[in-house]
Amino acid sequence: MKLFVVERYGANDAGIKDDSVQKQRLDSLLKKAQKRKETAENAIISEQQQEQEESVKKKKKRKSQVSESVEAEKPTEQEEQQKDDEDGLEQRKKATAEVSQDPEGFTVIGRDQFKRVKEVKGVAPKWLLHPTVISVNMKNLDANVDDVLDLAPVLKQTLKTENVQKMFPVQRDIIPWILKEFKFSLTGYWPRDLCVSAPTGSGKTLAFVLPLVQILLGRPLLEVKALVVLPVQDLAKQVFSVFQTYSKGTNVKVALAVGQGQIENEQRQLVRKDACGNFHSLAHIVVTTPGRLVHHLRVTEGLDFSKLRFLVVDEADRVMDSAQSDWLFHLEKHIAKSGSKRVLGQVPPLTIHTLETQAPPPQKLLFSATLSQDPEKLAKLALFQPKLFTSVVKAKNPTVDAENDEEDVGHFSMPAEIRERYVLCEEDGAKPLLLHCLLTKRAEKSQQKKGHGCKSLCFADSRVAAHRLCLLLQKLSESSETKLRVAEITAELRLMERNCILNRFTNGELDVIVSSDALARGIDIPSVDCVVSYDVPQQAKLHVHRVGRTGRAGRKGEAITVLSPQQLPSFQHMLRGVAKGNELKELKSPQDEMEALEETYKKALAEVRKCIKEEAKHKLVVKKKRTGVFKRNKTARRRSAKKLLKAKRK
């Protein structure tokens, strides 16, 4: 044990050989500590006394303003009050002394000095508080293409061939605004940035495609003037095809860079190197995803964004939330190398000198159905005098308490054409059967009424859940009279496979697509009749996007969410901030049909279990084979290397 004894003061140290000297030192240290404690306590107590006195003074003042008759009784009350206050002070003194003294005798420094910090409430900027409200009414469209827009005849012709007769409210408001800002910028002023928050399927894509093509019409020089950023490949391809449609018959060149094929192929569409070694842009508009953009900025020689005039960010909230949200930083760095335009960063104070010496920054155009109106998030984008167009008005949700109706809680809005309902499922295990019954019922009704089946999209939480649900629905419909053709789309499938399934769905070869949230955002699938949220979405945003796959472009749609009774209150609470055209109603659960199919369901469940086991086995075999081949290859390589060495030695 001696090993662990630390002798801080050795016997040879001067002045501390005696025990008496050590005692003296200890006493003086303890005295000092005691003094410090007392002064700290006194300070706290005097502070509290002051506060107490002030409060008593205030009370006195208030009471002196009351009438005389009441005043007659006051002195006794005041005295009592003062007594009470003093007693309270005494008690608190004791309590603080007790609290600040730990049972082991240590004093916690500053324990009584902690005070609750006052919450500072942020103030939304003016442009967020005073937006221009876009109508959500898609029924009585008054804006004829010819009357409203100052568009080139080629574009008007394409609109006619695409069967666009009238402009949707977003397009009616946004297109002239962008064109006007552009004209304004030609006079030397910087264009204002734009934020658009409009419901799903309201035609936001055309609202930026048309003005960009119009502005870039007839430009002899090939320079990248517009960069359009979307969160994922599928959406970028979709927007690219709209650009292609509307740039037909014009000299506007559009390129796609989403990482679908080899990077060299994309580079060939973006830049050309001439005989003298100079680089030339090959597109006016580049449609891309954040990840691929950063890749090109790093590796594509001669890519020049210094002449950029427009930066469009569709599904802006998702793009900004994504892991690659540093793409703006990389873009700015890239531009800074070749020019002085600012994409990010502090906007300098606008003086005549800045206007004269600095080129305007690219105008940022942000679009989304669930655009964040959080000033902090938007501040990251360094928007220049932004203008907000929104269709979000005060949410009115009859299912929520009346007091909540008064709040300005609207963050997102949904198309008024969507009829939203929920169905309660008591047992979690019976959910697939309930879904099967709902879908077959809908298909039969639609067949009777319209003469064709009902196209439905079902959203599950994950890829695995979507796969299992798809198998179950397939098995159940095999044994039922109404045969539903079911397929699945998850992020695991390649783009080609996904497109193939979507084409079959659009052509009426499939009735149901089960999907993970890979399909939830932005994808424009014509005429989806019903969207079913098989698993409850965790965020209102996700719900808005899922449901938004139906009821597009003014068509009618239906959205059903499958809930357990326990999930209902939180679901209703989540939808508090979503402005809807229709109220949320309950749909009767098809109990009779479910009971009739109980045996078939059990069989289907057993078959699916078998199927999943076989799939897992198959995957394992494939994996083993791969690793086995790899090992064999490795050993073969080693053997051949050894043989070679031997041969060399010989």
Contacts to ligand ATP by CB under 6 A: 164, 167-168, 171, 200-206, 369, 522, 524, 548, 552-553
Output 85 or 524, the one with its CB closest to ligand ATP.
524
Output 89 or 553, the one with its CB closest to ligand ATP.
553
Shortest separation between residue 188's beta carbon and ligand ATP, angstroms: 33
Alpha-carbon span 510 to 497, nearest angstrom: 14
203 three-state secondary structure: coil
Output 138 or 395, the one with its CB closest to ligand ATP.
138
Shortest separation between residue 384's beta carbon and ligand ATP, angstroms: 24
Output 304 or 529, the one with its CB closest to ligand ATP.
529
Q: Which residues contact 415 (CB under 8 A, 6 or more apart)?
A: 136, 138, 199, 200, 201, 202, 548, 551, 552, 557, 581
Q: Which residues pair with 286 in a beta bridge?
A: 227, 255
Shortest separation between residue 304's beta carbon and ligand ATP, angstroms: 29
Output 200 or 474, the one with its CB closest to ligand ATP.
200
Output 111 or 166, the one with its CB closest to ligand ATP.
166
Backbone angles phi, psi at 127, to 5 degrees: -65, -25
Alpha-carbon span 556 to 416, nearest angstrom: 9
Output 158 or 202, the one with its CB closest to ligand ATP.
202
If phi > 0 it is left, if psi is from -120 to 50 it is alpha, else beta; for residue 374 that is: beta
Shortest separation between residue 369's beta carbon and ligand ATP, angstroms: 4
Backbone angles phi, psi at 132, to 5 degrees: -95, 125
CA 305 from centre of chain? 27
Shortest separation between residue 168's beta carbon and ligand ATP, angstroms: 5
Q: Is the dihedral of CA 306, 307, 310, 312 positive or negative?
A: negative
Output 196 or 438, the one with its CB closest to ligand ATP.
196
Shortest separation between residue 589's beta carbon and ligand ATP, angstroms: 30
647: its two tokens:
């041969």
533 near 506, Cβ under 8 Å?
no
Shortest separation between residue 377's beta carbon and ligand ATP, angstroms: 19
Shortest separation between residue 315's beta carbon and ligand ATP, angstroms: 7
DSSP assigned state of 72:
H
Shortest separation between residue 44's beta carbon and ligand ATP, angstroms: 59
Output 367 or 601, the one with its CB closest to ligand ATP.
367
Q: Is the dihedral of CA 164, 168, 172, 173 positive or negative?
A: negative
Output 330 or 419, the one with its CB closest to ligand ATP.
419
Shortest separation between residue 201's beta carbon and ligand ATP, angstroms: 5
Nearest residue to 469 (alpha-carbon basis) of 509, 416, 513, 432: 432
Output 287 or 443, the one with its CB closest to ligand ATP.
287
Q: Which residues contact 148 (CB under 8 A, 6 or more apart)?
A: 167, 172, 176
490 near 515, Cβ under 8 Å?
yes
Shortest separation between residue 171's beta carbon and ligand ATP, angstroms: 6
Shortest separation between residue 174's beta carbon and ligand ATP, angstroms: 11
DSSP assigned state of 382:
T
Q: Which residues contact 255 (CB under 8 A, 6 or more apart)?
A: 266, 269, 270, 282, 283, 285, 286, 287
Output 74 or 555, the one with its CB closest to ligand ATP.
555
Give the E-state strand segments of 369-503 in sequence order. Answer: 387-390, 412-413, 418-424, 456-459, 486-489
Q: Is 291 exposed, middle or buried (0-12, 13-18, 19+ CB in 10 A)?
A: middle
End-to-end CA distance of the chain: 68
56 near 85, Cβ under 8 Å?
yes
Q: Residue 432: which H helix or E strand, with range?
A: helix 431-450
Give the CA angle between residues 386, 388, 391 to the nearest 5°. 170
Shortest separation between residue 164's beta carbon and ligand ATP, angstroms: 4
Output 257 or 312, the one with its CB closest to ligand ATP.
312
Shortest separation between residue 454's beta carbon and ligand ATP, angstroms: 19
Give the E-state strand segments of 52-117 in sequence order. Answer: none
Alpha-carbon span 16 to 649, nearest angstrom: 79
Shortest separation between residue 241's beta carbon and ligand ATP, angstroms: 10
Alpha-carbon span 519 to 556, nearest angstrom: 20
Alpha-carbon span 365 to 196, nearest angstrom: 8
Output 169 or 590, the one with its CB closest to ligand ATP.
169
Output 172 or 225, the one with its CB closest to ligand ATP.
172
401 near 563, Cβ under 8 Å?
no
Q: Is 384 exposed, middle or buried (0-12, 13-18, 19+ CB in 10 A)?
A: middle
DSSP assigned state of 191:
P
